[in-house]
């Protein structure tokens, strides 16, 4: 009986053991889904390295494309458009807009985020689309309308320049200081020469006028010399006649005259108020900023080159001019002015940002597939240089008897997106400039100003990874390349006569800018100064920010 009972219990135990074994086998083989990874020792017990984070997961800004409507030529002629109506003829979208014109840079900005465009729309805009731009003033009146057959939308904005040649100058009145001596400098075919008007020598006087052809255009190696009185003249306005003057030699009561329809002479006259019309000369301002001198008959002074290709010293009327003669153009340059230029402030236009570029120093997932804790040192070192370049598009023509210098500091700031977060960035560059004392230089020379900043990123850290776990570790940096920002620099300009210490009026200074080759914009005329703006472009290259992180993630032990 006892034996039978023992055998019974034994059978029960064997059955229970078999059931338990079956349950264990089934639970371990169910589709393999719940089978934990086998923790094995990799070669040398190192961490398993696999792919890290994707660049797009760090917030990559796609940037914008657009156009910059440039109305600077219109403003130079005295017009003040405030709005640009842009009609864009595109198939893939409606991009027409009414834009405010920035009063300082004289630009309007049309920007379209790349993220808002389909592939076809982006391609169409990049290839170029027709558009019509209408400029309107504050009262809603149309100043100018221009049609463009195709303009491409680009990063930083394609410059669309409005042509103002059809618009007449609104204000070209010359206000001349009658006490100032002037040089009358010849410009031949748009090129500055080393020749100026000269009156000859007092020893040539005969019967109160010169013999031969007294007025000539002569080469002067040291023309800007106050002791050389024969190259200096005073301009006396003719009453009731705009931009019409008597031209008087500084060394005596002798006046420039057109005589016998062919030659130009110098005559002695004690009373300038009783001069006849043949002493009157009208100065016409050209688009270039030069002037043409016209006699009372409406005939311009003509000049020509000799057989050797040199500018002749003779001046002619159109009837007496030899073959090949052209209408002469001149600049009026005050000989005794000391200029003072004060830099005031910078105004700039927000950029049409390009896309950001993401780069990695380190970007890996470190998996620990061993049974023990592993540690790895991560070192990231990178130096990236951010360069600020200020390039001037416009300049001042300031010719004086003495050299003077001034400086301008251009500072800009803007907001950009790094790693999906807005960040304010700023930069500046300073440049020293000087006026010229010679006739051969066209304008005050503005060279690019550049400033470089080194951004040093250096991170050393120890990454500890627990058994069966993983850590995503990355050191990333994002850069914007060649971000362009149009700017203007405001200046205040004064002029003083060094002979008597008397300051020029604002209108007199304005006239000097009109008939010089000034290509900026006069924005304000006051009693003894003018304010002007000069435009340029600031380029910020390699704007940069960095981010590093270590995040626990799923391991990669399954390969």
pLDDT one-digit tens code per residue, 175-191: 888 888 888 888 888 88
Q: Is 43 helix (H, G, I), strand (E, B) or coil?
A: helix
Least confidently predicted of 139-153, 156-170, 254-268, 417-431: 254-268
Query: Alpha helices of 150-221 — where are they, by DSSP H?
Result: none
How many Cα atoms occupy the beta-carbon half-sphere of 33 within 13 Å?
2
Give the pLDDT of residue 436: 53
| Contact status, residue 135 vs residue 82, Cβ threshold 8 Å | no
> Lowest-pLDDT range, 160-164, 214-218, 232-236, 330-334?
214-218
3 state DSSP class of 260: coil
Distances (CA, A) of 444 to 236, 338, 396: 28, 15, 5
Closest alpha carbon to 519 in 397, 431, 407, 344: 397
- Report the length, in residues, of the chain: 559
Lowest-pLDDT range of 249-253, 426-430, 477-481: 426-430
Q: Which residues contact 539 (CB under 8 A, 6 or more apart)?
A: 387, 388, 389, 391, 482, 483, 484, 485
pLDDT at 487: 92
**Structural domains in the chain plus CATH codes:** 59-161 (2.60.40), 182-335 (2.80.10.50), 338-553 (2.170.15.10)
Phi, psi of 209 (to 5 degrees): -150, 165
Burial of 8 (0-12, 13-18, 19+ CB in 10 A): exposed
**Count of C-beta atoms within a 10 Å radius of residue 354:** 20
Structure tokens at 552: 């626990």
Interval 1-28 mean pLDDT: 42
d(CA 458, CA 473): 15
Please tell me which residue, 9 or 229, carries the higher pLDDT value.
Answer: 229
Q: What tokens does 548 get?
A: 């590093």
Q: Quick one: which of 364, 474, 376 has its CA closest to 52?
A: 364
In sequence order, which ranges of 39-108 are alpha helices (DSSP H)? 72-76
Query: What's the CA gap between 170 and 344, in Å, rounded?
Result: 27
Task: Name the 3-class secondary structure at 23.
Answer: helix
Whole-number Cα distances in Å, 133 to 78, 85, 95, 99:
19, 6, 13, 10
Residue 435: pLDDT band (50, 70, 90) is: low
Q: Report the pLDDT value the prediction gives residue 519, as an integer from 0 to 100.
A: 85
pLDDT given at position 441: 44
Instruction: Work out the mean pLDDT of the chain and round it to a whole number.
Output: 81
Residue partners of 338: CB distance under 8 A and separation at least 6: 400, 401, 402, 404, 495, 496, 498
Condensed to tens digits (0 to 9), the pLDDT of residues 36-48 reads: 333 334 444 678 8
Pairing mode, strands 216-219 and 191-198: antiparallel
**Cα–Cα distance measured from residue 362 to residue 67, given in angstroms and rounded to the nearest whole number:** 38
DSSP conformation letters of 415-455: EEEETTEEEEEEEEEEEEEE-B--SS--S---PPEEEEEEE
* Region at 455 (left for phi over 0; alpha for psi -120 to 50; beta for the rest): beta
Name the band, by pLDDT with cuts 50, 70 and 90, for residue 215.
low
To which H or E segment does residue 125 belong? helix 119-127
Other CB atoms within 10 Å distance of the CB of residue 337: 26
């Amino acid at each position: 009986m006892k034996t039978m009972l023992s055998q019974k219990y034994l059978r029960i135990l064997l059955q229970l053991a078999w059931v338990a074994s079956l349950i264990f086998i089934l639970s371990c083989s169910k589709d393999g889904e719940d089978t934990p990874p086998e923790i094995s020792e990799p070669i040398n017990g190192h961490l398993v390295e696999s792919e890290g984070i994707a660049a797009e997961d760090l917030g990559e800004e796609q940037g914008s494309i657009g156009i910059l409507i440039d109305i600077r030529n219109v403003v130079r002629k005295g017009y003040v458009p405030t709005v640009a109506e842009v009609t864009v003829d595109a198939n893939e979208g409606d991009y027409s807009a009414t834009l405010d014109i920035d009063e300082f840079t004289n630009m309007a900005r049309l920007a379209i985020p790349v993220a808002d465009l389909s592939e076809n729309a982006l391609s169409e805009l990049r290839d170029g689309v027709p558009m019509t731009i209408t400029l309107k003033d504050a009262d809603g009146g149309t100043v100018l309308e221009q049609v463009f057959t195709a303009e491409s939308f680009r990063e930083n904005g394609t410059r669309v320049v409005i042509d103002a040649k059809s618009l007449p100058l609104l204000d070209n009145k010359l206000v001349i200081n009658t006490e100032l001596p002037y040089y009358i400098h010849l410009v031949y075919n748009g090129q500055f020469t080393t020749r100026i008007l000269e009156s000859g020598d007092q020893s040539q006087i005969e019967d109160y006028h010169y013999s031969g052809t007294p007025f000539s255009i002569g080469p002067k190696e040291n023309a800007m010399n106050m002791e050389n009185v024969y190259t200096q003249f005073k301009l006396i306005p003719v009453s009731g006649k705009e931009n019409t003057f008597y031209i008087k030699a500084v060394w005596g009561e002798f006046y420039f005259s057109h005589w016998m329809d062919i030659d130009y002479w110098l005559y002695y006259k004690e009373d300038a108020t009783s001069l006849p019309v043949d002493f009157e000369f009208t100065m016409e301002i050209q688009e270039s900023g030069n002037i043409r001198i016209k006699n009372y008959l409406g005939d311009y002074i003509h000049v020509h080159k000799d057989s050797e290709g040199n500018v002749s010293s003779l001046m002619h009327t159109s009837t007496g001019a030899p073959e090949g003669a052209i209408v002469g153009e001149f600049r009026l340059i005050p000989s005794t002015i000391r200029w003072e230029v004060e830099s005031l402030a910078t105004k700039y236009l927000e950029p049409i940002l390009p896309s950001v570029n993401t780069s990695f120093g380190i970007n890996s997932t470190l998996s620990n597939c061993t049974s023990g804790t592993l540690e790895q040192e991560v070192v990231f070192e990178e130096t990236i240089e951010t360069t600020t370049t200020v390039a001037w598009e416009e300049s001042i023509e300031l010719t004086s008897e003495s050299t003077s210098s001034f400086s301008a500091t251009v500072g800009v700031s803007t907001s950009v997106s790094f790693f999906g977060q807005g960040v304010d960035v700023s930069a500046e560059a300073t440049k020293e400039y000087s006026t010229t004392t010679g006739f051969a230089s066209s304008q005050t020379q503005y060279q690019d100003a550049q400033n470089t900043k080194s951004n040093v990123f250096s991170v050393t850290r120890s990454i500890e990874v627990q058994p069966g776990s993983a850590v995503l570790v990355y050191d990333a940096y994002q850069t914007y390349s060649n971000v362009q920002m149009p700017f203007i620099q405001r200046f205040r300009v004064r002029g003083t006569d060094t002979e008597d210490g008397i300051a020029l009026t604002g209108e007199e200074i304005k006239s000097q800018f009109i008939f010089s080759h000034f290509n900026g914009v006069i924005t304000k005329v006051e009693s003894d100064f003018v304010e002007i703006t000069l435009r340029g472009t600031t380029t910020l290259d390699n704007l940069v920010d960095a981010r590093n992180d270590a995040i626990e993630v799923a391991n990669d032990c399954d390969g």
